[in-house]
Amino acid sequence: MVMAKNILSTVTATENLYSAWKEVKKKKGSPGVDGVSIALFGSRLDYNLTTLQRCLQNGDYSPLPLLKFHVAKENGGKRPICIPAVVDRVAQRAFLRIIDPMIDPRLSDCSFAYRKCRSVKAAIQRILFYREQGYPYVVHTDIDAYFEHIDHDFLLEKLSSLIDCNEAIELVKRWLKVDFYEGGRLVKNPHKGLPQGAVISPLLANVYLDEFDKAFEQTDFKLVRFGDDFLILCKDKASTKLAFDMALEMIKRLRLKLSCSKTAIVHFGDGFKFLGATLANRNIESDTKSSPVDVPQGKSHKSPILLKTLYLQEQGCILAKNDQRFVIKKKKDVLAEIPAIKVDQIIVLGNSSITTSAMKFALIKRIPIILLSKKGCYCGKIERGDSGNVELHQIQFNLLRNHDFCLRVSKEIVKAKVHNQKVLLQRHSKKIGNINQILDLMRNLLKKVETSNNVDQLRGLEGIASSHYFRGFKYLLKSSFGFENRIKRPPVDPVNSLLSFGYTLLFQNVYAFITVHGLNPYIGYFHALRNKHPSLASDLIEEFRTPIIDSLVLYLVNSQILKERDFYYVGKDRRCLLIDSAQKTFIRHFEHKMNSEVTHYHTGILCSYRKCIDLQVQEMLKVIKGEQSVYRPLTMRY
């Protein structure tokens, strides 16, 4: 074990402090409570590092309070973030550079987070290895608010067993006990918890759980831990109870709690999610969600298939439940079995039914059930009603009274829709001369949109632009199937039928992402509010109609994938509908389109159209919360 004097002298060595500064500078970051930015600290670098060195060596070093704020989590909660001052980041980085190589080799092999040469991929590979070794049953859980509940005295005791250096322990103690500023006032340290955002916190988090990790090394269970999220793999189902009880007892001993809502006993045959991946018997599917604001421009972002949809299309079939799976049956035949972990929403088309147990199971798993008629018309939705964010909804309602806000958002929505329509026509303008006049009309309408001073006028301009657009759209069709212009209710020709059905499917995807992010889908700013109408979903669908559905319909018709024989007419109004096989073909191509990759204009992310919808809902959320002033819709490029 390294002696105390050697540790502290190595930490405060001039070369080590300069190397620590370079790492802090590379990671960038915001100023701390003192307002000193990285650039400002660097402008007097020699003086600042010499002063820090002297304070550390003399024992006079005292860290500044942390700057604390909260960021939204995907599950609707908030994560506390604490920003140390730049000088304290340098001190912690210098300490970590020396201490981490001493401690890390002594930590358990089952821990994969915050460690060099370890990663999510390595954790997943270890899990798959254990699966092949005959560990098919899994206890999946995580620790409730782990970083906030770490006991300081317990942690320092554990750290002392690894480092024989009182000065180093005292330094860590000062970082742990520091107060913080939140909302403009100084808040006393609660004497527990690790500040998320501090350089030293990840290593200390692993140190705290090392006793837990090593306890499982002495058993026949297999533990894979990534931070506060972990799996315990077992050879049989009976062992999972013993493994869970052991984990529960160990976590209590560490003065922590397991998250009951996130605890499950699963089997690889059912599939389950861990670290952004879906693990099953034969495959692994990436499902990692990345923040749109932190991805560098121009980087490829292999997005997951968000909102995996189970379509119930076979007429007369029944959706039932068996253990953790959905089962589709027709008479005595089982048509399909789908692990619930692979389903994010269910769309029922026509005359199919759902058992009570399957419906309850879907509600428990927060899987909405959307009911469409055989004609593709929306009938209703079955979903839990406890996912609303009342404070956010109040902000949405209050903004309805803000004329400038409604006008500003509505302008961007209409401009994007008309722009996208114009781009689709313009791509074909050289081949079809009739379109140029329509393009001129749409350019003039865009100028009027820019100068419009009320939302009602914008709605009128949007309607006129759509009329011009669909007059041009018919010239893009190699076989018009009688299409002259957009007719919604009822669709009287195959093209209108495809457009209506496609818009319905797209609408449900937009609606789902709105609810995922806690917004009220019925409070929009461009479409007028009326009973039973999700106006925000209607607002956000506009920019996606042309790039997703209109272009898909053009492809299906012009490629003769769908032909006139794939449609039939019913009723006195001669409503045009898709036959069952053609409806399945359309859904298959719709899903392929939704999962095809494009570059999201504002972030530079290469992702699926489905992910683009998610990003645009988040964009609207920022505007509603006042985090940015202008809504930036998705626009097509020429």
Classify each residue of 183-221 as buried b or exposed e, where b means 16 or more C-beta atoms within 10 Å of its C-beta: eeeeeeeeeebbbbbbbbbbbbbbbbbbebbbbbeeeeb
Closest by CA to 257, choosing from 249, 269, 246, is: 249
Q: Which of 249-258, 284-293, 509-518 has the least mean pLDDT?
A: 284-293
Are 124 and 284 in contact by the 8 Å Cβ rule? The answer is yes
At residue 339, what is the residue type?
P
Q: Where are the alpha helices (DSSP H) in 178-258?
A: 201-208, 210-217, 237-253
Q: Tokens 């909260």 — which residue?
A: 70
Q: Which of 327-336, 423-432, 573-582 has the lowest mean pLDDT?
A: 423-432
Average pLDDT for 456-465:
93
The answer to whether 411 and 452 are in contact (CB under 8 A) is: yes
The CATH code of the domain at 309-382 is 3.100.10.20
Please give the pLDDT value at position 121.
85
Q: What is the Cα–Cα distance from 309 to 348, expressed in whole angstroms?
A: 10
In whole angstroms, what separates CA 391 from the centre of its chain?
21
Residues 6+ apart with CB under 8 A from 298: 604
Note the pLDDT of residue 287: 42
Determine the average pLDDT of the residues in 422-443: 82
For the chain, the straight-line distance linking the first and the last C-alpha, in angstroms and rounded, comes to: 65
Residues 6+ apart with CB under 8 A from 463: none
Distances (CA, A) of 274 to 96, 129, 145: 29, 15, 18
With CA atoms as reference, report the closest residue to 141 among 246, 229, 268, 240: 229
Report the 10 Å Cβ neighbour count for 412.
20
pLDDT in tens, 41-70: 999 999 999 999 999 988 889 999 998 888
* H or E stretch at 502: helix 494-516
Is residue 284 predicted with pLDDT exceeding 50?
no
Q: Is the pLDDT of residue 305 over 70?
A: no
Task: Tell me which residue has tokens 């769908």.
Answer: 562
The two tokens of residue 396 are: 């949405």
**What span, in angstroms and rounded, lies between the C-alpha atoms of 522 and 510?**
12
pLDDT at 289 over 50: no
Distance CA 397, CA 596 (A): 35
Q: Which of 461, 525, 470 is nearest to 495 (CA)?
A: 470
From residue 375, give the alpha-carbon distance in Å to each of 348, 378, 533, 569, 594.
12, 9, 20, 11, 22
For residues 505 and 527, what is the distance between their CA atoms, to the nearest angstrom? 19
Residue type at position 170 = E
Q: What is the pLDDT of residue 6?
A: 67
pLDDT for the residue numbered 308: 73
pLDDT tens sequence across 346-387: 888 778 889 999 999 888 888 888 887 766 667 778 887 665
Q: What is the pLDDT of residue 64?
A: 92
166: CB partners within 8 A, 6+ apart:
4
Which carries the bigger pLDDT value, residue 86 or residue 512? 86
Give domain 390-595's CATH architecture.
Answer: Up-down Bundle (1.20)
Asked if residue 293 has pLDDT above 70, the reply is: no
pLDDT at 163: 86
- What CA–CA distance (Å, rounded) separates 346 from 338? 12
Rounded Cα gap, residues 638 and 286, in angstroms: 32
Q: What is the pLDDT of residue 480?
A: 73
Mean pLDDT of the chain: 85
pLDDT value at 495 more than 60? yes
pLDDT over threshold 70, residue 152:
yes
Q: Grade residue 330 by pLDDT with cuts at 50, 70 and 90.
A: confident
CA nearest 302: which of 616, 612, 613, 607? 607
Residue 295's pLDDT band (cuts 50, 70, 90): very low
Closest CA to 303 of 315, 293, 289, 316: 289
Give the span between the Cα atoms of 176 and 191, in whole angstroms. Answer: 8
Residue 478 DSSP symbol: S
Question: Helix 403-426 vs helix 435-451: angle between axes, to the nearest 10 degrees?
Answer: 170
pTM over the 0.85 mark? no
What does DSSP assign to residue 200?
A: T
For position 487, what pLDDT does the model report?
86
Do 309-382 and 390-595 share a fold? no
| CA 586 – CA 539 distance, rounded (Å) | 24
| Range scoring the smallest mean pLDDT among 58-67, 100-109, 278-287 | 278-287
What phi, psi does 146 have (nearest 5°)?
-55, -55
Q: Are residues 491 and 576 in contact, defined by beta-carbon separation less than 8 angstroms?
A: yes
Structure confidence at residue 497 as a pLDDT band (50, 70, 90): very high
Q: Which residues contact 374 (CB under 8 A, 6 or more apart)?
A: 315, 349, 350, 351, 577
What is the model's pLDDT at position 2? 41
The CATH number that domain 107-150+193-282 falls under is: 3.30.70.270
pLDDT at residue 296 greater than cutoff 70: no
Q: At what angle do helices 455-476 and 403-426 cross, to 10 degrees?
A: 10
Q: How far apart are CA 25 and CA 42, in angstroms?
A: 8
Residue 290 confidence (pLDDT) above 50: no
- Say what the pLDDT of residue 281 is: 61
Domain ranges (residues) in the chain: 1-105, 107-150+193-282, 309-382, 390-595
Top pLDDT among 189 and 630 is at 630
- At residue 609, what is the residue type? Y
Per-residue burial over 233-249, b = 16 or more CB atoms within 10 Å of its CB, e = otherwise: bbbeeebbeebbebbee
Distance CA 318, CA 352 (A): 6
SS3 letters across 268-294: CCCCEEECCEEECCCCEEECCCCCCCC
What is the rounded distance in angstroms from the CA atom of residue 495 to the CA atom of residue 499? 6
Is the pLDDT assigned to residue 508 strictly greater than 50? Answer: yes
Q: In angstroms, what CA-CA distances link 594 with 18, 298, 381, 549? A: 49, 21, 21, 10
Binding residues for Mn(2+): 462, 527, 542
* Per-residue pLDDT reduced to its tens digit, 408-424: 999 999 999 999 999 99
Q: Which residues are annotated as a binding site?
A: 462, 527, 542
The answer, yes or no, to whether residue 306 has pLDDT greater than 80, is no
For residues 29 and 83, the answer to whether their CB atoms sit within 8 Å is yes
Predicted local confidence at residue 1, as pLDDT: 44
Confidence (pLDDT) at 294: 26
